[in-house]
Amino acid sequence: MFTTNVNYPNNRKLVKQKITMDKNLNLQTVEVMDENDIPQMKMNFKNIDLKAKFDNNHFELDEIMKSAVIEDGTEETTALDDIIYPLYIPSGTKLTNQDKVEKTNGERVIMSFDGEKPFLLVEETANKEDEFTVIPTYGEPYMFVDTVGAMTDNSLTWTSNGIEYYLVSDVMSQIELMEIAQSINLLPTMK
């Protein structure tokens, strides 16, 4: 058994983990704890297959992408049907400006929120690529309900339901940015 420090940017309350292995060094449990050594998550491992078999092309990028393509038969939308406003806005902050801009393949909405905790929120229609494309992204991964975003010290970007989001603030913490983003990202799942 050994204990290590952890750094979860999505939950700063989690500070260490205790890993338990058997005498053959097979993983048995992992417990993630808060600063008071109270377990917040626990994962038990009952069976680990160290001799798993995979097809020769199992990790080939072309094969992975073929299985990831979903044909839904619908036409691409190039306009934002509805502007999605955050359900959570810090107190003392309000929407002061909203601009809609046409872009080559769709629209972009830029919303400015001013007050005690000013921030900028950009929503734009995502472009569907016909081929696999690598898009450079900077920041730490952040898991939402239906997607993964990228978080830096003062911004958060993600794509959900055909809309790309960009949230930035010079004065807000990462936790405050996450609260706003989560209040936006929950809306599509509530419909």
pLDDT in tens, the chain (191 residues): 999 999 876 677 889 999 999 998 989 999 999 999 999 889 999 988 888 888 888 888 777 666 655 444 444 444 566 788 998 899 999 999 999 998 887 899 999 999 999 999 999 988 777 666 777 778 888 887 678 889 998 999 998 888 899 999 999 999 899 899 988 865 544 43
Beta-strand pair 39-44/119-125: unpaired
The side-by-side arrangement of strands in the sheet containing 148-151 is: 93-103, 106-115, 119-125, 163-168, 155-160, 148-151, 140-143
Q: What is the pTM of this model?
A: 0.59
Domains and CATH numbers, the chain: 2-44 (no CATH), 93-190 (3.30.200)
d(CA 114, CA 70): 40
Distance CA 93, CA 75 (A): 38
Token pair belonging to 159: 């794509």
Q: Sheet of 2-5: strands edge to edge? A: 2-5, 14-21, 27-34, 39-44
